[in-house]
Chains A and B, each alone.
Chain A
Amino acid sequence: MIEAAGLTKRYGNTLAVNNLSFSVPTGKVTGFLGPNGAGKSTTMRMMLGLDNPSAGDVRIGGKHYHDLKDPLRTVGALLDAKWVHPNRSARAHLTWMARSNRIPKQRVDEVLDLVGLTTVAGKRAGGYSLGMSQRLGIAGALLGDPEVLLFDEPVNGLDPEGILWIRQFMHRLADEGRTVFVSSHLLSEMALTASELVVIGKGQLIAQSSTEEFVARAADNTVKVRSPQLPALHQQLAQASAQVVDSGEALIVSGMDSAKIGEIAAAANIVLHELSPQTGSLEQAFMQITGDSVQYHTGLETPAAR
């Protein structure tokens, strides 16, 4: 269980993270979603005690990161795959990390094998492709066999094969009962990987809910209805407490599915020319939500505060 309370990071006049509170449940993959520059990486650095919060704190299993003994055994993290000395071999890199947390040396070979880098372990890390670097980073995160794993944009810049590998790996980690907290700016990616979501925009919490709930809300289903008797239909639907927007030649109905609309129209003997459910793409909906956090803030905060 990771808990952030009132987390705030200020750089001069800009607030990178603003009073952010959320919790990451144990034994699940939780996605940390937000557009680029929303403050995801800053938040993750504060979780690991690398950056000092201007206010608030993060506790991992009730403890501050600084107070963890041999922290790599509790929290494994991959924030940036390029955080490796280019002239040091993968094995040497993992060896010093292992040594710092009293992790037995054979564990280095185990994790190298786990991520499939055994054959290139002696080569200098600077020559690795992005996918290989990412694997090395994951090996480093897994080194201490930690309960909690943090990944910052692990699929960024990877080819489809690499993305699939990472995705499967996340599932495997969650199946093993580990707590995985993974950031991304792609809702579609998170929809495939994460079961819980923490969504932020401009450094503020927009929503915390299950992925299903968020996707359903983000996709914000509306129904487009065309009819020669629009004013009459409008009245009927409004009476049935649907939200109706008149776009001139059609009505955009939300808060009611197409079947119900059809039944209401039939009951009132209204002819329909079109009755089509509109589902926007996840990306569009997500951009709407994060792009204007204030407008949607109240509507989505309720489940988060639950």
Chain B
Amino acid sequence: MNLLAVERIKLFTTRSPWWCGFIAIALTAGFGAILAAASSDDNPISIGSTQFGYQFGVAVIMVLAALSVTTEYRFGTIRTTFQAVPHRTSVLLAKAGVIALVSLVIGEIGAFGAWGVCYLIRPQDGLGLSTSADWINVAGVGVLFAIAAVIALSVGVLVRHSAGAIALLLIYVLAVENLVQVIPKVGSKIHNWMPFTVADNFLHGANSAPPGSAASDSVLSQGESLAYFAGFAVVMLVIAIGVAKKRDA
């Protein structure tokens, strides 16, 4: 509990997490608003489309998460941290816990913000959250943010340099997974099993995907997709903790 408080203090006593948080919310909600404004009675907006901006929001969240640990390496505070708490596993688990929780909250604000704005702009489009699929589509964004943040944190621990970690994460999330489809024959099959594609499948399931993201034909159900994505994050975190324990701080 103490360690969670420590990581919370560390996170909120610098400015970049605040900025990242606001930008993530603004992007998630803002794109929803733009799409709502662009839709018409002939072309109504769907609940899936209100969450279109999450892909950009999650990228910013991953920057936040990676920075939370790479700045510690950059400024040497990781050494002060390990000096204060030599049990490195606890430190990194606490860090992951706090980052995940903060990302969850940011994600939910962004997602419901996007949905709310769209609802206000297009009240006639039937954006009420009636089915559980609708709920997952909106509320799931926060969960996705939390898991993505743990992945980014792990990459941050492994890479240790802000620029390197962020470049790696953004290129991967925004480009690599989609580019894999270009590989002849097996490309689309591999693509279906890549973590962020699976995460997207968790939000939408077999429903129509929002514009911009490739239609998913994954064999996983939404629940399985969530478990797969979370499992990937856990594996990354375990690797990161293992490496951090072995390495000189």
CB neighbours of A71 from chain B (8 A): 83-86
CB neighbours of B79 from chain A (8 A): 45, 50, 79-80, 83
CB neighbours of A102 from chain B (8 A): 2
**Contact flags A55-73 to B (C-beta < 8 A → 1, else 0):** 0000000000110100110
For A83, A87, A102, which residue has the most chain B Cβ atoms within 10 angstroms?
Answer: A83
Determine how close the nearest CB of chain B comes to the CB of A2; give it in whole angstroms: 15
CB neighbours of A52 from chain B (8 A): 246, 248
CB atoms of A50 and B75 under 8 A apart: no
Q: Determine the distance from Cα of A28 to Cα of B144 in the docked complex, in whole angstroms.
A: 55
Q: Does A48 contact B (CB under 8 A)?
A: yes
CB atoms of B248 and A100 under 8 A apart: no
CB neighbours of A211 from chain B (8 A): none
Q: Does A95 contact B (CB under 8 A)?
A: yes
Determine how close the nearest CB of chain B comes to the CB of A122; give it in whole angstroms: 11
CB atoms of B14 and A96 under 8 A apart: no
**Contact flags B135-155 to A (C-beta < 8 A → 1, else 0):** 000000000000000000000
CB atoms of B75 and A83 under 8 A apart: yes
Q: Determine the distance from Cα of A65 to Cα of B75 in the docked complex, in whole angstroms.
A: 23
CB atoms of A96 and B6 under 8 A apart: yes
**Contact flags A221-242 to B (C-beta < 8 A → 1, else 0):** 0000000000000000000000
CB atoms of B86 and A83 under 8 A apart: no
The contact size tier of chain B is: 20 to 34
CB atoms of A80 and B82 under 8 A apart: no
CB atoms of A50 and B14 under 8 A apart: no
**Contact flags B68-102 to A (C-beta < 8 A → 1, else 0):** 00011001110111111111000000000000000
CB atoms of B83 and A77 under 8 A apart: yes
CB atoms of A99 and B6 under 8 A apart: yes
Query: Of residues 71 to 117 in A, which have CB atoms within 8 Å of B's CB atoms?
Result: 71-72, 77, 79-80, 82-89, 92-93, 95-97, 99-102
Q: Known contacts A65-B86, A80-B76, A83-B75: does B248 contact A92 (CB below 8 Å)?
A: no
CB atoms of A86 and B75 under 8 A apart: yes
CB neighbours of B3 from chain A (8 A): 100
CB atoms of B84 and A97 under 8 A apart: yes
Q: Determine the distance from Cα of A48 to Cα of B249 in the docked complex, in whole angstroms.
A: 11
Q: Does B174 contact A (CB under 8 A)?
A: no
Q: Does B219 contact A (CB under 8 A)?
A: no
CB atoms of A50 and B83 under 8 A apart: yes
Q: Does A213 contact B (CB under 8 A)?
A: no
CB atoms of A82 and B249 under 8 A apart: no
CB neighbours of A72 from chain B (8 A): 83-84
Name which residue of chain B comes closest to A68, CB basis: B86
CB atoms of A82 and B85 under 8 A apart: no
CB atoms of B85 and A100 under 8 A apart: yes
CB atoms of A50 and B82 under 8 A apart: yes
Q: Does B10 contact A (CB under 8 A)?
A: yes
Determine how close the nearest CB of chain B comes to the CB of A163; give it in whole angstroms: 23
Determine how close the nearest CB of chain B comes to the CB of A302; give it in whole angstroms: 35
Q: Which residue of B72, B87, B248 is within 8 Å of A50 (Cβ)?
A: B248
Q: Does B5 contact A (CB under 8 A)?
A: yes
Q: Does A203 contact B (CB under 8 A)?
A: no
CB neighbours of A48 from chain B (8 A): 83
Q: Which residue of B2, B13, B246 is within 8 Å of A89 (Cβ)?
A: B13
Q: Does B9 contact A (CB under 8 A)?
A: yes
Q: Determine the distance from Cα of A77 to Cα of B83 in the docked complex, in whole angstroms.
A: 9
Query: Of residues 95 to 148 in A, which have CB atoms within 8 Å of B's CB atoms?
Result: 95-97, 99-102, 140
Q: Determine the distance from Cα of A66 to Cα of B91 in the docked complex, in whole angstroms.
A: 13
CB neighbours of A65 from chain B (8 A): 86
Determine how close the nearest CB of chain A comes to the CB of B243; give it in whole angstroms: 13
Q: Determine the distance from Cα of A50 to Cα of B6 in the docked complex, in whole angstroms.
A: 19
CB neighbours of A100 from chain B (8 A): 2-3, 6, 81, 84-85
Q: Determine the distance from Cα of A97 to Cα of B6 in the docked complex, in whole angstroms.
A: 7
For A51, A65, A96, which residue has the most chain B Cβ atoms within 10 angstroms?
Answer: A96
Which 9 interchain pairs have the tightest Cβ spacing? Answer: A83-B76, A92-B13, A51-B248, A96-B9, A100-B84, A50-B249, A100-B6, A66-B86, A87-B14
A–B complex contacts, Cβ < 8 Å, 9 sampled? A50-B79, A66-B86, A83-B75, A87-B14, A87-B16, A96-B6, A96-B10, A100-B3, A100-B84
Known: A88-B10, A100-B81, A102-B2; 11 extra A-B contacts, CB below 8 A, are A51-B248, A71-B84, A80-B76, A82-B76, A85-B72, A87-B16, A89-B13, A92-B9, A96-B6, A99-B5, A140-B80
